[in-house]
Structure 1
């Protein structure tokens, strides 16, 4: 295999064009455990592209650690590594289990079901603002607003302050997008600004009883001790970024998939009962998270390749979700696909904490979109974010043809279908 045949999986520029599905298909077939060089002087990493192998690695944190080197492809300085290890995303058992337990009760399927009336009301408010517009940006006007408002309410953030969280989140994700003059230092500055805000919010809530997640974290204890400032700040950052980024990107990418496959959109309009399987197909098709890294803790062998202690392995979820050995016709967008064993939410100990919330937000949004906005179509080029972490659309101008009419939203409280059991932690 010649290097020139492959897209550079370490470069954010690659993902700014499109997810490199041809490269992933080639690797799954020819080299599912492939050593990928890093052009900027990094040590290189093993690219893992098959569904089965990603599941195996994700379920074996003793051999493949999130803590040892973090979950990004880059190698951090010891100072930076010590900071990111406060986030659950970069923890291993037993520490991870203790910290995840602190907030997991707020994200169970039963707990999330009670949020549906409020999520539906917020969705209708969002659509009310655009329903009479002929042209608007789908990302900022619709996709970003729902998860941002919902996570702000859950955490206990005043609604009028939510857009600052959106800006911080973008700066954290955009650090490797040189086209926007971003840098890792800018991402660290955004994190520090978010931490400062978190501490101010905690000070405002001091002495108050509340069910919001800030109050929960302020009163939480691990091994009999309350969270220190760094632990509290890391929790806050993860909840905000994961709570709005992945769902925003899925709603945007799912809408784009429907517009690019008008026959599937027509099927869904004709038969709304297909929405649950359509949501799962959007998750498979979009795969909002591109990759996470693990670090090998002991010499091991995977598919005949010798992995050494300290080696980096990078799990590519969009590749796993189009693995021919798991999915029939994986390159086809099929809203009735069943079964659908995608791993868009991850697998193993870091399975997305906010899965139930994400599925509920996505379902409610598309239920209301299908009722309220007829005939949406692209009004210009889609601008993708250049990120090797998230599969994201930065801007997606849409319009409704002059022949379409806005539908006023029904104000009755509707019973949604029971949500299934993104915040990965």
Structure 2
């Protein structure tokens, strides 16, 4: 079988290359994937089995997020130096310190307190959609929900959500013709987010509030706080990760319901299935397709010798369809339990900070949709994002009966 796991045009047209990933799990679970000089990246180890993705995720000492960063694309060392200030691209102990500070804003109590607010937002989105002639699930439901919540977390004006939406699209959609005319647009969007974060921090220092921004810029009991640059990069991460994962899980989940109408009827008949449905949506969609690690020493993965500084890429879309872990992995089953999906990471230092928040948003959104729009139907083809990183849907037309 011809293997190309990073062809963005394939993801754009079809989604994740599940046939190739299934073949690799069965025949070469730690596979040396040839590089492409023209596209600017070297060969790498493609890791496709659930157990191996978990192992790599939990061993930051062997598999670094910092040495050559966590994203797939290569970049020069001077750019890496700046990116290493972001939690995503750090290893312990630096990552441990930063995460302990940021955790203050993501306690279970703080996330739980948002549930009624999230429910109100979902009802508002339904009310607004009912007044429109044409409804797009991404634009009218999946995208605004996490943006409203991010505004709430940061204490930012709700009117700013469109700015956050556009900035996120330009950064994530750098390879998609709908979002970025040239690569500098993504860089410019990142600079806009930095400036926005600076303004937000200055306001919170003048007028502290009960929001995550205030908690992060004021010293904790030990006097620790985020520096200005650390705060700016955290806001950047929140705008992208906190928006894209929920947004694409929600839109991919709705498409899965359209393709499996029996599962939608199950949820409409029994909304208590919403919690397990949220987990199954994350497994099925795997909103983040891959992350990169770099070997810190000579080691082995599933008996395969890996050299220091080798590039390693873990594929969550594959791990979440692993036949050794999931019964009937190609069946979308909203009652699946247990469901050890790793759509938010395989544990370890980089397990998604917003995991509980994202699942809360998904659970409440689909509870409200099943209650108020039981006859929701697809009205046109889904249009996918041109990206091998984010399993994204840009457009999903629907009709509201």
Report TM bin, short chain. Answer: over 0.9
- Identify unmatched segments of 5+ residues in structure 2: none
204-213 or 367-376: which moved more? 204-213
2:379–2:399: 8 Å Cα contact kept in structure 1? Answer: yes
1:118-146 CA-to-partner distances (Å, cap 9, x unmatched) read 11111111111012445311101111111
Q: 1:163 & 1:134 partners in 2: Cα distance?
A: 21
1:296–1:307: 8 Å Cα contact kept in structure 2? Answer: yes
**Partner residue, 1:186:** 185
**Partner residue, 1:364:** 364
22-31 or 128-137: which moved more? 128-137
TM-score (norm 1): 0.90
Give the SS at the match of 1:142. helix
Q: 2:76 & 2:277 partners in 1: Cα distance?
A: 42
1:393 corresponds to 2:383: no
225-234 or 268-277: which moved more? 225-234
**Partner residue, 1:214:** 213
**Partner residue, 2:82:** 83
Map 1:46-85; keep pairs closer than 5 Å. 46-85=45-84
Give the SS at the match of 2:96. helix
Q: 1:364 & 1:83 partners in 2: Cα distance?
A: 37
Distance 1:93 1:391, change over 3 A: same
2:53–2:314: 8 Å Cα contact kept in structure 1? Answer: yes
**Partner residue, 2:9:** 13
Q: 2:327 & 2:315 partners in 1: Cα distance?
A: 19
Q: 2:350 & 2:341 partners in 1: Cα distance?
A: 15
1:46–1:314: 8 Å Cα contact kept in structure 2? Answer: yes
CA RMSD of aligned residues (A): 1.7
1:322-364 CA-to-partner distances (Å, cap 9, x unmatched) read 0000011101111111111110111211111111111111111
2:277–2:363: 8 Å Cα contact kept in structure 1? Answer: no
Query: What is the CA distance between 1:370 and its match in structure 2?
Result: 0.8
Query: What is the CA distance between 1:223 and its match in structure 2?
Result: 8.3
1:287–1:317: 8 Å Cα contact kept in structure 2? Answer: yes
Q: 2:51 & 2:143 partners in 1: Cα distance?
A: 32
1:102–1:220: 8 Å Cα contact kept in structure 2? Answer: no
Query: What is the CA distance between 1:229 and its match in structure 2?
Result: 2.7
Q: 1:33 aligns with which of 30, 35, 48?
A: 30
Distance 1:277 1:313, change over 3 A: same
1:153–1:212: 8 Å Cα contact kept in structure 2? Answer: yes
Q: 1:223 & 1:72 partners in 2: Cα distance?
A: 33
Q: 1:277 & 1:230 partners in 2: Cα distance?
A: 38
Q: 2:313 & 2:177 partners in 1: Cα distance?
A: 22
Map 1:307-318; keep pairs closer than 5 Å. 307-318=306-317
Q: 2:204 & 2:222 partners in 1: Cα distance?
A: 24
1:159-212 CA-to-partner distances (Å, cap 9, x unmatched) read 111110110011110113357554443222111111011112222333222222
1:10–1:38: 8 Å Cα contact kept in structure 2? Answer: no
Q: 2:213 & 2:258 partners in 1: Cα distance?
A: 39
- Identify unmatched segments of 5+ residues in structure 1: 405-425
TM-score (norm 2): 0.95
Query: What is the CA distance between 1:213 and its match in structure 2?
Result: 2.1
How many residues align structurally?
A: 397
Give the SS at the match of 1:314. strand
Q: 1:307 & 1:182 partners in 2: Cα distance?
A: 38
Distance 1:353 1:261, change over 3 A: same
157-166 or 185-194: which moved more? 185-194
Distance 1:53 1:15, change over 3 A: same
Q: 2:213 & 2:291 partners in 1: Cα distance?
A: 27
Q: 2:144 & 2:344 partners in 1: Cα distance?
A: 21
2:277–2:335: 8 Å Cα contact kept in structure 1? Answer: yes
Give the SS at the match of 1:349. coil
**Partner residue, 1:114:** 113
Q: 1:388 & 1:327 partners in 2: Cα distance?
A: 24
Query: What is the CA distance between 1:220 and its match in structure 2?
Result: 3.9
